[in-house]
Structure 1
């Protein structure tokens, strides 16, 4: 009787250990596959595969993938969105950002918002949170909701309040510049000029001359005539 009980206990322990090993192997496999997809999505973005979408007057209104690139990007984004939720506790915030950005480039703004929001709750790092909030702001603009878009940009700016002054300035200049470009593409010229003006004011306050020049050049690139 005792031998039988011991055998059952041993069998249960072995089954538990085997299950744990299987779960860990599955987790590693999922993370490996997800990592490969994330790298491919980043490669598509890095090589400048997006097309410029313009209105009837030739003004840039958005960037978007098309054709085979769009099909590949969207398929990979869908795969990644499924895989990232299979990881216990979810994936890395940066992974959610890449996936959401991929949906954005395929004009899937609602899907992008959904993924971005899930990444946001997992992002203690203010840099990643800032990137996610900028993405959310752009997506809401693309969906015709500038009020919510601006709210997301304001949230991004508030994140910087706890940072060191130099990091805060750089991040806020980046957010203001991105916000300005979003307003310009939406045809909101007054709001565009407001953001450009505030960005230039921040740039003037930067103590690092090299970064000040770099930030000014980036702003000059988007500070063109508003349609």
Structure 2
């Protein structure tokens, strides 16, 4: 059974429901939102593998949602829109979306595109440890379930937050430059400002609470994770 999680962000309830049903039939876990704001909330709260995204939506449009996602993740994104002009399609690709499908479309084709993208995305990931448990001090990361426990209490993190903390724990004591962290966590094909690392480190320190000092700043270079043990 497919264990991937797809996030559907589409403001038309009927289309949202139909697309969601097709993905569920293929074994996907499905999250859905009817506007961009709720979509970004779900994206930050869950481990999402792929996003299917409309453009013309209330609150936050699809262009801005795609841009925000690309600031922290390189997961596959498919835009599905009634905007079929060449300039709209090119704008989508300029935001680093992986595919652009115009309405009306066959949901079976959308799911097929999603499956292909996920297979390619998975095969391009570096061959690193992805299973097991990481334990350092009072931090425990279950890499199979993507659950994190700090002081025995479960903490909910976004995918990027999880990946960044995982990298720190796997490389304890190593000085990590911002550029290194961008390449290893965000990916070499994702273009974001290096200061985004500082923002995410600030988030991790907040999660760590009294253990925030585990992430030490190496001035002018980056960071080093070092527990008190």
TM bracket (short chain): under 0.3
Q: Name the structure where strand makes up a greater proportion of residues.
A: 2
Q: TM-score, normalised by structure 1?
A: 0.25
As a proportion of its length, which structure holds more helix? Answer: 1
User: Is the radius of gyration larger for structure 1 or structure 2?
Assistant: 1
Question: TM-score scaled by structure 2?
Answer: 0.25
Q: Which has the higher contact order (CA 8 A, sep 6+)?
A: 2
